[in-house]
Structure 1
């Protein structure tokens, strides 16, 4: 199984609780530690997970905000298009979130965190021109990268079309429509499509959606950050689905 690095106290705390069997190694920075780091050391010790200490020079070589702790963990195999079809058939009210070339790891991490909170069945990202689940994404996601299914597909539009044929209703978020997300019914088998930072939905992706919806905006700013916009939309879907 492939390996990858996970940085940050909170992310590693979550990983220890959820998937301790997937940790290959755990490394802390030498020297005085704060209460949270000491607690993490104690937690690892209680679970029988060995760790080592390395000097600051070791951590300076890492590409990420590490907070003096890094874990090497197993990278689980990517899910694919076939897994999506199985999820669609298995769940009565699946909710798929498609990200059309989102490239900022901080945005993807924040989106995964909200997806976990709102019961998203799977987050779907294209293989190319999109950030994958790397160490920064895992840190920002605060454990959600381990709980939310992330499906990597070779062609996002083709995947959406195949799922539409299987019964999924797909709504794309775009500003160029008079329909707001509060006018749509998000119960049942639903797919949401969010566009990339700056450029939004690609033309072909937009044309593939069954509906387009906008988030009402009262100020002078024309759009929201994609992770913020995704949070707004997912909580409207969540609100509708928990209503009796």
Structure 2
């Protein structure tokens, strides 16, 4: 299994970014100063790379090497461009089914969703560059290797992906409890993209305002919500059920 690669040292990380390596996250030492450090900070912000300022103790736990106040994780997978992903799917004659993830934070939920998405024929998974779970060893393990079999795409803002889907003739459906519409009343037979929200707050309210349809799962017990990966599986398999009925 391919693992996430760790690099350390300010200049090494700068060179990796300039070489177009897919950096998943950079950890920078709090309070560090210097021209090279400032150059790295500027480059990280320019490229919209996920970044965290941490105490030196955290960096020392990440690596025993001379990190110079900077450690980065290079993603083990390559990411697709959203325009190419959508265009290639349409040109292949498929009825698009995409999955948008609005800042999911748990890597195991992320991995489980990737696995289910691959099993249900999802054409690609789109998520934000910042604020979400990384593609790391835990994600790969939980996905049972599905991360290497399904296109993944990072965007600056999930709302941008919503607008692009809509402009491409793809209906955007939000999985949310903030609706009276049942999942089973929604049509997934045409080109569509399903948005799943984060574990703690669901889908961003500003994103909910621009989707085409909203749907919820019926909950018959006392618990008010499902685990996001379980809910995602229910939505995707309803899409599969409807699309199978067309082909038959």
Q: CA RMSD in A?
A: 2.2
**Structure 2: where are the runs of 5+ without partners?**
6-60, 64-73
Structure 2 matches for 1:38-53, cutoff 5 A?
none
In the TM superposition, residue 194 of structure 1 has moved relative to its aligned partner by: 0.4
* Paired residues, number: 179
Partner of 2:170: 168
SS at match of 2:202: coil
**Structure 1: where are the runs of 5+ without partners?**
6-60, 64-72
State the distance in 1 between where 2:97 and 2:149 align. Answer: 15
Query: In structure 2, which of residues 186, 189, 192 is the aligned counterpart of residue 187 of structure 1?
Result: 189
Structure 2 matches for 1:81-230, cutoff 5 A?
81-90=82-91, 91-230=93-232
In the TM superposition, residue 74 of structure 1 has moved relative to its aligned partner by: 8.3
Deviations 1:104-140 (A, max 9, x none): 0000000011001100000111001011211110011
SS at match of 1:171: strand
SS at match of 1:208: coil
SS at match of 1:108: helix
Contact in 1 for aligned 2:101/2:125 (Cα 8 Å): yes
In the TM superposition, residue 88 of structure 1 has moved relative to its aligned partner by: 4.4
In the TM superposition, residue 182 of structure 1 has moved relative to its aligned partner by: 0.3
State the distance in 1 between where 2:88 and 2:124 align. Answer: 8
State the distance in 1 between where 2:62 and 2:145 align. Answer: 20
Larger RCO (alpha carbons 8 Å, 6+ apart):
1
Contact in 2 for aligned 1:92/1:188 (Cα 8 Å): no
Contact in 1 for aligned 2:75/2:135 (Cα 8 Å): no
In the TM superposition, residue 92 of structure 1 has moved relative to its aligned partner by: 2.9
TM-score normalized by structure 2?
A: 0.68
State the distance in 2 between where 1:232 and 1:62 align. Answer: 37
SS at match of 1:151: strand
State the distance in 2 between where 1:78 and 1:130 align. Answer: 15
Alignment of 1:75 with 2:72, yes or no, is no
Moved over 6 A (4+): none
Would the alpha carbon gap of residues 74 and 130 (structure 1) be closer, same or farther in structure 2, given more than 3 Å must change?
A: closer
Contact in 2 for aligned 1:87/1:94 (Cα 8 Å): no
In the TM superposition, residue 82 of structure 1 has moved relative to its aligned partner by: 2.1
